[in-house]
A and B are shown apart, each in its own frame.
Chain A
Amino acid sequence: MIEARNITKRFESGDSVLLALNDVSFKVESGEFVAITGRSGSGKSTLMYQLGLLDHPSSGEIYIDGEKVTEMETDELTKIRLNSLGYVFQDYALIPELTALENVLIPLLMQGLSQEAAKEKAVASLSRIGLADRTDHLPSQLSGGQQQRVSIARAVAHNPKIIFADEPTANLDSESSALVLKNFLELNKEGQTILMVTHEPEYAKMAHRVITLADGKILSDIRNR
């Protein structure tokens, strides 16, 4: 489904070279819920950016459904992000002047859905995570937890092959965090592939599989259960 082969990400500043990712290889199968953990600075976010096609690895290759996506043109990558990937950012990353519904609508409209079809899908996506009554609120009128759930609704509305979530609960209180996690688990149960970075061992335990990074390398890759 998605595969990293010998991914290395090198940061150079002056003479010093930092290997944020050092020859990382692994494969995520369709329907998996993978948690990525590790100390601060171990390379978790860097890994997400490479797999999420927001950045280019220094070396190594990434395959999505067997297709090599590294070295593709910017436009093509944008299209893959639109059609196959979904993102949940730590700080929600909603567009402030768009309502919850509109935020969820934009990728659908970009995909070419008609206004009505897109709206139907967006409303369904928001309802699925319990925000049916908040569709016309602006992000500033929503709580952090609600904003993060809008962000999840946006990430899944177009049925991506995989969702990337980098510490989606870092800015939330425990109650909101639990709700967000519950949403993820439900989505996963419906077949959604999820790759989530988390610091919380308790949340990592809920995933099928926990990959632990240390100094840019995979320290362990454990299946739960």
Chain B
Amino acid sequence: MSILRPKRFKHLGRSLSLGWFLAYRQVRRSSPFTTGLIVFVMTLTFLNLVVVRGVLVGLIQGSTDVYKKYYAGDIIISSLPKKDYIENSSNIVNIVAGLPWTESYSPRYIQGGSVEAEYKIKLRQTDSPNSAGGLVEGIDPVKEDQTTHLSNKVVEGSYLTSSDSDSILIGANMLKKYTNVDVPGLTLLERVNIGDRVRVTVGDTVREMTVKGFIQTKTDVDQRIVMLDSTMRNLIGRGDYNVDEIAVKLKPKTDVFLVKNALLQSGVGNTARVQTADEALPSFLIDIKNTFGLLGNVVGSIGLVVASITIFIVIFINAITRRKYIGILKGIGINSTAIEFAYVLQSVFYALLGIMFGMLILYGFLVPFVTAHPIKFPFSDGILVAELSSTLIRAGLLMIATLIAGYIPARIVVKQNTLDAILGRN
């Protein structure tokens, strides 16, 4: 058998196993402090590679997640571009309700409107009103809650019940106290409390209603005034039950496109626009997501370069200080491949440990922690996005960078003149 094996491979095998022999002993007998320090640097580099991008992408992911969770569900059906509402809504609602994949759905009436507080103490007609504009939304509170868990997002007061025909919920972005940015020209409601009577205007209709709660979802819903669908129908005089949008939540693990196609095939597309939540995402979010992803990759690449340089320096110093011994090894007949391999193995060892600790910290602590305590941003609750596949790709990149960064300095030192190395001459 061994006769068939080319001699060169036999030699390579020997060199590699001797390289392993040397690397193993060199690492085992090196100072634990130095080893720890290098592994620490590798760990940080790995985290830098994964976490920076993960946080940047996660910021947007967080906002698209809440968009799905508290606004769109999995599929959102809305009116065709030139129509005021979805024609034949009841028919569509029936189709949606009849689909085997539907878990819940929430039809919504939507119309532009505004809300005004303190209108009773306004003295003159010319005094500027304490009011804010937005969309008025009429919902079935039970269906809405099944679909988007809106009741979880009531930050003050309480959620609507089916008998609250005189009450509204106000979105946080219409309230001064929940909005810390001053947008010129945009007026916000001030000094409104739960239980206050306010004036709601929808189209031409004005009606006095009670504030029952404030909601904050970090989605478009925060710019809305929410009331019962029955009240809304009265206000806008829509007796035909035609709604403006329907959010559909599917059973877990359902293929959204399958459902979208099923809806289109049953003719829903003729009177309404059917989009998956991802398709319906505001395009700026997608743009930011891509930009942040790119930015994360840039930062990560810099991290990769830093890691490579670190390894390069570590191995270079290690090899240079051991130049004499490298010379002796060569002198007694150990070939360059074995010696170089010993150094490459050492850098691989550092990188592997770094990646291992990095993974532990990432999946054992950071991801669960950030998921439990999202990073609060005005437009989203940022999470840490670290899919295993992309993490592994980055680990692989770090590995390759390390291999090269370990090999080059070893090669440089091993290539030096043997006698000069042994004698310490230059």
The answer to whether A and B interact is yes
Q: Which A residues contact B (CB, under 8 angstroms)?
A: 49, 54-55, 75, 78-83, 85-87, 89, 93, 95-98, 102, 105-107, 109-110, 112, 138, 154-155
- Assess whether A93 is in contact with B422, with CB atoms less than 8 Å apart: yes
As a 0/1 sequence over residues 395 to 426 of chain B, the CB contacts with chain A under 8 angstroms (1 = contact) are 00000000000000000000000110010000
- Assess whether A106 is in contact with B332, with CB atoms less than 8 Å apart: yes
Interface centre among B325, B331, B334, by most A CB within 10 Å?
B331
Determine the chain B residues whose CB is within 8 A of the CB of A105 once the complex forms.
21
Identify A106's interface contact among B26, B28, B329, CB under 8 A.
B329
Determine the chain A residues whose CB is within 8 A of the CB of B10 once the complex forms.
112
Judge whether B30 is part of the interface by a CB distance below 8 angstroms: yes
Nearest-neighbour CB distance to chain A for B324, whole angstroms, equals: 8
- Assess whether B419 is in contact with A110, with CB atoms less than 8 Å apart: no
Judge whether B25 is part of the interface by a CB distance below 8 angstroms: yes
Q: Is the interface of B mostly helix, strand, loop or mixed?
A: helix
As a 0/1 sequence over residues 317 to 344 of chain B, the CB contacts with chain A under 8 angstroms (1 = contact) are 0000000110011111111101000000
Judge whether B373 is part of the interface by a CB distance below 8 angstroms: no
10 tightest Cβ-Cβ pairs between the two chains A and B: A82-B333, A97-B29, A81-B333, A93-B328, A54-B419, A55-B419, A109-B18, A112-B14, A110-B334, A95-B325
As a 0/1 sequence over residues 1 to 36 of chain B, the CB contacts with chain A under 8 angstroms (1 = contact) are 000000000100011011001100110111000000
A–B pairs, 14, beta carbons within 8 Å: A49-B419, A79-B333, A86-B332, A89-B328, A93-B324, A93-B331, A96-B325, A97-B28, A97-B30, A98-B22, A102-B21, A109-B18, A110-B15, A154-B332
Determine the chain B residues whose CB is within 8 A of the CB of A138 once the complex forms.
29
CA distance A113 to B392 in the complex (A): 38
Q: Given known contacts A83-B333, A87-B331, what 7 new A-B pairs fall within 8 Å (CB)? A: A54-B418, A78-B335, A81-B333, A102-B21, A106-B18, A107-B333, A154-B332
Also in contact, A81 and B14, with CB within 8 A (given A93-B422, A95-B325) = no
Determine the chain A residues whose CB is within 8 A of the CB of B14 once the complex forms.
109-110, 112
- Assess whether B332 is in contact with A81, with CB atoms less than 8 Å apart: yes
Query: Of all chain A residues, which has the CB nearest B27?
Result: A97
Q: Which B residues contact A (CB, under 8 angstroms)?
A: 10, 14-15, 17-18, 21-22, 25-26, 28-30, 324-325, 328-336, 338, 418-419, 422
CA distance A55 to B418 in the complex (A): 8
Determine the chain B residues whose CB is within 8 A of the CB of A110 once the complex forms.
14-15, 18, 333-335, 338
Nearest-neighbour CB distance to chain B for A163, whole angstroms, equals: 12
Determine the chain B residues whose CB is within 8 A of the CB of A98 once the complex forms.
22, 25
Determine the chain B residues whose CB is within 8 A of the CB of A154 once the complex forms.
332
Identify B25's interface contact among A55, A82, A86, A102, CB under 8 A.
A102
- Assess whether B328 is in contact with A78, with CB atoms less than 8 Å apart: no
Determine the chain A residues whose CB is within 8 A of the CB of B335 once the complex forms.
75, 78, 110
Also in contact, A106 and B30, with CB within 8 A (given A75-B335, A112-B14) = no
CA distance A74 to B259 in the complex (A): 70
Determine the chain A residues whose CB is within 8 A of the CB of B328 once the complex forms.
89, 93, 95
- Assess whether A106 is in contact with B25, with CB atoms less than 8 Å apart: no
CA distance A82 to B336 in the complex (A): 13
Also in contact, A97 and B25, with CB within 8 A (given A54-B422, A110-B18) = yes
Also in contact, A109 and B21, with CB within 8 A (given A89-B422, A96-B325, A97-B30) = yes
CA distance A110 to B329 in the complex (A): 11
- Assess whether B333 is in contact with A54, with CB atoms less than 8 Å apart: no
Determine the chain B residues whose CB is within 8 A of the CB of A49 once the complex forms.
419
Determine the chain A residues whose CB is within 8 A of the CB of B17 once the complex forms.
109
CA distance A49 to B423 in the complex (A): 11
Determine the chain B residues whose CB is within 8 A of the CB of A55 once the complex forms.
419
CA distance A98 to B10 in the complex (A): 25
- Assess whether B422 is in contact with A82, with CB atoms less than 8 Å apart: no
Determine the chain B residues whose CB is within 8 A of the CB of A95 once the complex forms.
325, 328-329
CA distance A193 to B187 in the complex (A): 102
Nearest-neighbour CB distance to chain B for A116, whole angstroms, equals: 14
